[in-house]
Structure 1
Amino acid sequence: MREFSLPALYEVPSDGNLTDLIRRNAAQHPDTAVMSRKAGGRWQDVTATEFLAEVRAAAKGLIASGIRPGDRVALISRTRYEWVLFDFAIWSAGAVTVPVYETSSPEQIQWILGDSGAVAAIVESPGHSASVAALRDRLPELREVWEIEQDAFGALKAAGAEVPDADVDARSSLANADDPATIVYTSGTTGRPKGCVLTHRNFFAECGNVVERLKPLFRTGECSVLLFLPAAHVFGRLVEVAAVLAPIRLGCVPDIKNLTDELQSFRPTLILGVPRVFEKVYNSARAKAQADGKGRIFDAAAETAIAYSRALDLPSGPSFGLKLKHKIFSKLVYSKLHAVLGGRGEYAISGGAPLGERLGHFFRGIGFTVLEGYGLTETCAATAFLPWDKQKIGTVGQPLPGSVLRIADDGEVLVHGEHVFKEYWKNEAATAEAMSDGWFHTGDVGTLDEDGYLKITGRKKELIVTAGGKNVAPAVIEDRIRAHALVAECMVVGDGKPFVAALVTIDEEFLGRWAAENGKPAGSTAADLREDADLMAAVQKAVDDGNAAVSKAESVRKFRILPSQFTEESGHITPSLKLKRNVVAKDFADEIEALYRS
């Protein structure tokens, strides 16, 4: 199939903007908890009325400080309650939010603030303040900086104390649906990030149709979601706006370091994450079971869950015997996994990278369905996702209602719809290259089945062509290899080479446990063990599993274990955990060359 569409389920307002949502919530659900914030280690609920009042107070401060309609205001912070508060306050002042990852380098901050023409910035920490202060002479348009950890809210509230309510009401209503809401700078796996202009219409079309299609996951007063993805990323922004649009209770935490504890204290009904989060949950549970001498039980339970999920797609459904085994393991194993995930959730939404069919079946089999989705910054996050009631695990689902997916003659995925971005900021050439007759060219290669379910098979620019002329899409085998507990990242190489090979990094969290179980010296690092026969054999098993998913010509013949992990700080992955392939290839050119020395 070459094209598929679904009718819209949500009518985008002809005028108005995203600030209408918080006023509607305060009017229709005044005492409903729409937010929760951490204070003194405990969650404190914020009602719709309270949230609107705090947004208005911050917006008054922005207006009093000279922020004008259409001005760009940068927001540099980890994911936290204040991020959401100031995002809506910026909109309520008639301005445009420019999110910046809190891990961004001074050079990246300078580029984003300078390119966007930001006149003000709200930053999180003294470190961010210092970074911005050092750049002030190179940012002539930047006038104001407020720091969250120095009570930015209190400062803005005091500054706007004399601003009349009518002024903020007037400012809130200035932007219409087609005006910019935000400029999100793409992660930039190659070159400088481009500013992707997303309008209020884009968010209405995206979040409204997601909420309507996944209605059981967004029940007001019953459902809640914990956001631990970067709010500066478009996927995190989808969670924020969708939660407010529904509305459901939204909690924010800055990272996944203590994710298990946060999930158990917040107890969300819905979890949003990237595949690495769900891989960690599975691998951690399996490693703990093995350490407790219950590894065989866990493995049997996992195989039963996968078999049970696969049987759900058959006309006959699971057999009596499989149902019985599944019931037994539900008490012994699955209930414990549910507790790790907070104990209340039945669904998760995963994006950013392929989840993997086996992992998808495992989670559905334990009664915690992970709905995979696919999208880009330019499509305001999800342009396809699995519906809750019609899943096809192994695909990224059907198109967002109200949009169209098309497969071009060369296999590229094209997208059309109201959720597609307006333009790249001050970059007409890049906009013209990405858009053609209203269709956005994603750069991804995929297929559509007869029911409109999309499967992504690779990136056009990442296709590897071996010396023998074989085209290889690296994503499939990389995802399978990376699913192994010991593997942190895998990058397939082989363009113009006689065969396909791979660079592999070791997950530091699991290396210590593996080393202890295999008699290696305490404190051993990947650098110490990269040539160790036992570690090589363990990684070979992961490679063998990956090779099972592809043809012989596409399989990995050799691999190299690298001495350290790829990190955002090292410059090898983006904040959304995507590999910067060109940077890795350059920095590890010697390692790649070593793979092909006969």
Structure 2
Amino acid sequence: MRDFALAPPATSHLTGGLADSVFDTAARNPTQPVIARRSDVSPADWEEVTAVELRDEVMDVAKGLVASGISPGHRVAIMARTRYEWTVLGLALWAVGAEVVPIHPTSSRDQVEWMLRDAGCVAVVVEDEQAVMTVGSVCAALPRLRHVWQLDAGALAQLVQRGEFIPLATVESLRRIVLPDSTAVVAYTSGTTGRPLGCALSHRGLASPCDTLLEGWGHTAAPPGEQGSVLAFLPFSHVYGLMIQGMCLRGGLLMAHEPDLSAEALSAALRTFRPTYFYGVPSVFERIYKTFLRTAQQAGRGALFERAAETARDFAAACERHRLGEGPGPGFDLRLQHALYERTVYRKLRGALGGRARRATSGGSSLNRELSLFYEGIGIYVHDGYGLTETSGGVTMQPLGREKSGTVGQALPGTDLRVADDGEILVRGPSVFQGYVGDDAATRAALAHNGWLATGDLGRLDSEGYLTITGRKKDVIITNSGKSVAPAGLEHRLRMHPLIHQAVVVGDNRPCVGALITLDPEFLAHWRAGLAPASDAPNREAREENALREEITRAVAAANSAVSRAESIRVFRILAEPFDLASGLLTPSMKLRRDLIVQTYALEIDAMYQARSRGRSQGVVDESASWDEADNVFR
């Protein structure tokens, strides 16, 4: 095993519960803006909510919760998008000692029933009538559930009215008995395989990575003397979103909410709110890059963008070598070229993200190194970090001044990392969860390494303690020739092609590695529009299919160039529809539910391999030897 413990932990400022940060800020600086809300008059304008205004609203809602019978230790689910009311409700529940159970609003009926029953929720807050109907359809199986509150029907106002007779002192007394080691959140894992498990996360556990990151990296969220600001848009049903919210509330960053994850809504919010710090998952950064490329091509500047992107990557790579003591930095010609593109290209790209952000964070899964270098080269360094639900969020971060793209950085101060002999990443530290709710056996299995958390992720540590994620232990594919293949790297490289939206590498007990591929709808439409003139309509469909086959074949070949022949993709199929939340093939954190995808597309996978093997000689002894050329089958 390789073991790294980099530094003592940052001093935790938590003496009670997570709600205390709002009350403390209101006492110290009552007029400090803490949240920005869209104006009712003009949606393009944002109105600031001060610390004292937020505290008072939290207190009024908390009184309503007390009047409704919510007591310390009760579990209340919040099944809503990332919106202002979510933050108010979460703080109010923590103020009275209750535990929050975040549920993604698009969860299926069966998922909702399972989580509400497994957690023993006494109440649930939903957004709209559709969600009320979903919960209503499973109420018979939930004897503990007493309340269903609907945000769009004025739930907060109703709670405030209900709690008018409750003294402020009642809430204050409840808030003061909340201990740092009390459970604050029961967060359900992504459920990429099997039922999701409820992770009990304490107030201290959730605060720990936030406080450590704020102490070591908080000053990078904005220029000196300026209040940092963050647009929260990832779901609070995922621990990454909760950690961002916690950092804003505990670190004095101005937070705005964007519940709509569409490209148009997110783009508009970024342009109007103009955050100083950006965050997302790799798919968000991939989508932004492809939007840049598509926009440039539509304007007839595709070649210019590609040259600028290549210069950005080269410049960032040279800067990285210099800061790691491995090179002199960018040469004169490269600096000159970079400066030219800064005036003509890069500042416009930053403007699409609001124009003020110079740093960002990526989490949820590893960010492709080439993509990381691109963003650094245009002036937005993306810190690629690592964490999971069981660790209350962050475990690693890029050390300032020693950032290394392609890795997820080093262990946070106070957190220990090990890589077991089989490549599994083990973690120990203050943010590790209290256990799985109602599943002692799963808890013991996860902590079986003498208290170290077995993450289920595979990785490697270099001599300086930088961690590189290589995949998930349960995702490793073993072909019928016995070759083990980690699919994550191939999938990352495939997704870098602008036409490819998603990729799932398959091949368990098959003669070779294959892939299911979905296409980016917006880029596909743009690509088709520029493929052939309208006058060529009779032959257009055939031309498109042939051209698309050739383009995706080139993308597969490019991905294969980074792996051995035995690990390379030999067959692939393009699917008609992307994997999405509605179909249940994606988790709320946008991860692929691999087992379910393989089950759903079993016939397509069989056909993909059968089509490749047709016509092969019956005399072939070693079948795997005949799978030498990449093939493709279109659905």
TM-score band, normalised by shorter chain:
over 0.9
Aligned mates of 1:221, 1:142 — CA distance in 2: 45
Match of 1:178 in 2: 181
Instruction: Work out which of the residue numbers 59, 65, 68 in structure 2 matches 1:65.
Output: 68
DSSP-derived class of the 1:250 partner: strand
Equivalence for 2:373? 361
Please tell me the residue identity of whatever aligns with 1:246. G
| CA–CA separation in structure 1 for the residues paired with 2:335 and 2:395 | 35
Which residue does 1:30 correspond to in 2?
30
Match of 1:292 among 275, 296, 299: 299
Equivalent residue number for residue 573 of structure 2: 560
How much has 1:520 moved relative to structure 2?
8.7
Alignment partners' CA distance in 2, 1:181 and 1:297: 51
Match of 1:462 in 2: 475
| Deviation, structure 1 residue 118 | 0.7
Q: Classify the secondary structure of the residue corresponding to 2:382.
A: strand
Q: What code does the residue aligned with 1:294 have? A: R
Match of 2:245 among 215, 222, 240: 240
Unaligned runs of 5+ in 2: 322-326, 614-635
How far apart are 1:530 and its partner, in Å?
12
Q: Which residue of 2 aligns with 1:497?
A: 510
Question: How many residues end up aligned between the 2 structures?
Answer: 594
Match of 1:227 in 2: 232
How far, CA to CA, are the matches of 1:127 and 1:93 in structure 2? 29
Q: What is residue 592 of structure 1 aligned with on the other side?
A: 605
Q: Structure 1 pair 140/221, CA: closer, same or farther in 2 (3 Å)?
A: farther
Partner of 1:279: 286
Q: Which has the larger radius of gyration?
A: 2
Q: Distance in 2 between matches of 1:170 and 1:389?
A: 45
- Give the whole-Å Cα distance in 2 for the aligned partners of 1:267 and 1:529: 45
CA RMSD of aligned residues (A): 1.7
Aligned counterpart, 2:531: 518
Q: After alignment, is 534-543 or 57-66 more displaced?
A: 534-543
> In the alignment, which residue of structure 2 is the partner of 1:343?
355
- 1:134 shift after superposition: 2.3
Distance (whole Å) between structure 2 residues aligned to residue 486 and residue 165 of structure 1:
57
Structure 1 stretch 385-394 or stretch 270-279: which is displaced more? 385-394
| TM-score, normalised via structure 2 length | 0.91
Q: What's 2:90 paired with?
A: 87
Change (3 A) 1:15 1:291: closer
Contact 1:530 1:536 in 2 (8 A): no
Measured in 2, the distance between the counterparts of 1:62 and 1:221 equals 36
- The Cα shift of 1:499 comes to 1.3
Map 1:306-317 onto structure 2 (within 5 A).
306-314=313-321, 315-317=327-329
Give the C-alpha shift of residue 489 in structure 1: 0.7
Structure 2 matches for 1:171-210, cutoff 5 A?
171-210=174-213
For 1:165, the equivalent position in structure 2 comes to: 168
Give the distance between the partners of 1:81 and 1:487, measured in 2 at CA: 34
- C-alpha distance 495-371 of structure 1, shift in aligned 2 (>3 A): same
Whether contact under 8 Å (1:120, 1:142) holds in the other structure is yes
CA distance in 1, matches of 2:508, 2:411: 32
CA distance 1:154–1:559, shift in 2 (3 Å): same
What is the rounded CA distance, in whole Å, between the counterparts of 1:44 and 1:555 in structure 2?
53
> Which residue of structure 1 lines up, in the alignment, with residue 620 of structure 2?
none
Q: Name the counterpart of 2:273.
A: 266
Indicate the larger mover: 133-142 or 340-349: 133-142
Q: State the AA in 2 paired with 1:515.
A: R
> Alpha-carbon deviation of 1:439?
0.5
Q: Structure 1 residue 98: deviation in Å?
A: 0.5
Distance 2:111 2:31 in 1: 41
Deviations 1:418-446 (A, max 9, x none): 10100000100110111122100011111
Aligned to 2:132: 129
The match for 2:364 is: 352
Aligned to 1:10: 10
Deviation at 1:541, TM superposition (A): 2.0
**1:324 aligned residue:** 336
Aligned counterparts of 1:278 and 1:300: Cα–Cα separation in 2: 19
- 1:390 Cα shift? 1.8
Which letter does structure 1 place at the counterpart of 2:92? A
Say whether residues 1:426 and 2:438 are aligned partners: yes
1:98 aligns with 2:110: no
Q: How far did residue 135 of structure 1 move?
A: 2.1
The aligned counterpart of 1:372 is 384
1:398 paired residue number: 410
> How far is the alpha carbon of 1:543 from its aligned partner?
1.2
Secondary structure class of the residue paired with 1:34: strand
Find 1:435's aligned residue among 438, 447, 450.
Answer: 447
* Displacement of 1:353: 1.7
Q: CA deviation at 1:560?
A: 0.6
Distance 1:473 1:294, change over 3 A: same
What CA distance in whole angstroms lies between the structure 1 residues aligned with 2:160 and 2:568?
60
Name the SS of the counterpart of 1:469 in structure 2: coil
Q: Post-superposition shift, 1:222?
A: 1.6
Q: Is the contact made by 1:529 and 1:535 (CA closer than 8 Å) also made in structure 2?
A: no
Distance 2:362 2:373 in 1: 14
User: Could you say if the C-alpha distance between residues 18 and 215 of structure 1 is closer, same or farther in structure 2, counting changes exceeding 3 Å?
Assistant: same
- Could you say if the C-alpha distance between residues 218 and 289 of structure 1 is closer, same or farther in structure 2, counting changes exceeding 3 Å? closer
The CA deviation at 1:189 is 0.9
Q: Per-residue deviation at 1:8?
A: 3.7
Residues 120-176 of structure 1: CA distance to partner in whole angstroms, max 9, x if unpaired? 111111111222222222211111121111111111111111111110001112221
- Aligned to 1:449, which of 456, 459, 462? 462
TM-score (norm 1): 0.97
Q: Is the 8 A contact 2:13 2:211 kept in 1?
A: no
Q: Which deviates further from its counterpart, 49-58 or 3-12? A: 3-12
How far apart are residue 595 of structure 1 and its match? 2.3
Write the deviation string for residues 475-533 of structure 1: whole angstroms up to 9, x where unpaired: 001001012111111011111222111110111121111111113989x9xxx899911
Q: Contact 2:14–2:207 (CA<8 Å) still a contact in 1?
A: no
1:278-333 CA-to-partner distances (Å, cap 9, x unmatched) read 11111111111112111111111001000000000233110011100000000110
1:410 pairs with 2:422: yes
Answer yes or no: is the 8 Å Cα contact 1:396–1:455 preserved in 2.
yes
Does the CA contact (< 8 Å) of 2:23 and 2:55 recur in 1?
yes
For 2:571 and 2:221, the matched residues in 1 are separated by 47
Aligned residue for 2:385, secondary structure, equals strand
Alignment pair present for 1:110 and 2:148: no
Distance 1:530 1:386, change over 3 A: farther
Q: Verify the 8 A CA contact 2:399 2:409 in the aligned structure 1.
A: yes
| Structure 1: unaligned runs, 5 residues or longer | none
The residue type equivalent to 1:75 in the other structure is I
- 3-state SS of 1:413 partner: strand
| Compared CA separation, residues 14 and 156, structure 1 to 2 (3 A) | closer
Shift of 1:535: 1.0
Deviation at 1:387, TM superposition (A): 2.8
2:220 corresponds to: 217
Pairwise CA distance, 1:29? 2.2
1:223 maps to amino acid: G
Distance verdict in 2 for CA 1:355–1:501, change over 3 Å: same
